[in-house]
Structure 1
Amino acid sequence: MAVLALTNEYVEINGVNLSDRVRAGTLTVEAAQLDPTAMGDGWTRVTGGLKSGQLAIEFIDDFAAGEVDATLWPLFGTVVPFEVRPTADAVGVGNPSYTGEVFIAQHVVGGSIGELAAKSVTYPTSGPVARATA
């Protein structure tokens, strides 16, 4: 069994590789759990409903041109493409690519005195998320 320590995750938002400013990135997808249980079943039944997801990212903030804040601020309130991979290496069986679109629903600025300038955001996916190994 292979073990992977995340040290070089790839995170791209709207075609911009922001990996060198990411401390954590998590894509979560799920399907709604619907209950079609009827009288006489004896056990609860479950079927899948609509799928959804969210992309949570912790950025080390940077306000220079072309960096995190300058890249994300103009996207606020829009739907844009994303791609995440376990590593920045080429897409392959051991390094799948997850792609789709996210709604840039929030923008965060600020923090605590003496702390690293950072922002944690969570963007809902919009439409399907695809997984590719080639």
Structure 2
Amino acid sequence: MAFMVLTTQFISLNGTDLSAYCNKAELTVEVDEKDVTTYGSAGWKQVIGGLKSGGLALEFKQDFAAAALDSILWPLFGTVVAFATRPTSAAVGTGNPSYSGNVLIKELKPISGGVGDEASQSVSFPTSGAVARATA
């Protein structure tokens, strides 16, 4: 069994590599649980999967310089854009699968923090449509 430490995770939004600004990324996928229990279930609950959904949560170190993070994310607010993420910045392969799809940029937190805090923003975007996993 191979263990790993995330040190070079890749994250892209709308075709732009944002890995240099991101210090935490979490992709989640889930499926609705639908109860199909009948009297024939002999007292045991039976479930099947329903609609699938997902989310991409990111934590960015803010940068307001020209052509930096704030100027990249702001025009995307309210739009659905492509995303891609993988455990490392190396090429996609069986040991470095890529997960991709689309997300709705439903929130931004351009200014967040208290006195003495680093300028950062934690955001969460719902997926829109299927999330794909690729190893080639």
Please give the range of the TM-score, normalised by the shorter of the 2 chains. over 0.9
Partner residue in 2 for 1:45? 46
- What CA distance in whole angstroms lies between the structure 2 residues aligned with 1:67 and 1:28? 27
Task: After TM superposition, give the deviation of residue 66 of structure 1 in Å.
Answer: 2.1
The one-letter amino acid paired with 1:7 is T
Partner residue in 2 for 1:27? 27
Partner residue in 2 for 1:115? 117
TM-score (norm 2): 0.96
Partner residue in 1 for 2:105? 104
The aligned runs of 1:1-134 (5 Å cut-off) are 1-41=1-41, 42-110=43-111, 111-134=113-136
Extract unaligned runs of 5+ from structure 1: none
Q: How many residues are matched?
A: 134
The one-letter amino acid paired with 1:70 is S
Task: After TM superposition, give the deviation of residue 64 of structure 1 in Å.
Answer: 1.4
The one-letter amino acid paired with 2:17 is N
The one-letter amino acid paired with 2:84 is E
Task: After TM superposition, give the deviation of residue 40 of structure 1 in Å.
Answer: 3.5
Task: After TM superposition, give the deviation of residue 123 of structure 1 in Å.
Answer: 0.1
- What CA distance in whole angstroms lies between the structure 2 residues aligned with 1:67 and 1:39? 60
Task: After TM superposition, give the deviation of residue 90 of structure 1 in Å.
Answer: 0.2
Task: After TM superposition, give the deviation of residue 73 of structure 1 in Å.
Answer: 0.6
TM-score (norm 1): 0.98
Extract unaligned runs of 5+ from structure 2: none
- What CA distance in whole angstroms lies between the structure 2 residues aligned with 1:102 and 1:65? 25
- After superposition, the CA RMSD in angstroms is 0.7
Task: After TM superposition, give the deviation of residue 65 of structure 1 in Å.
Answer: 2.1
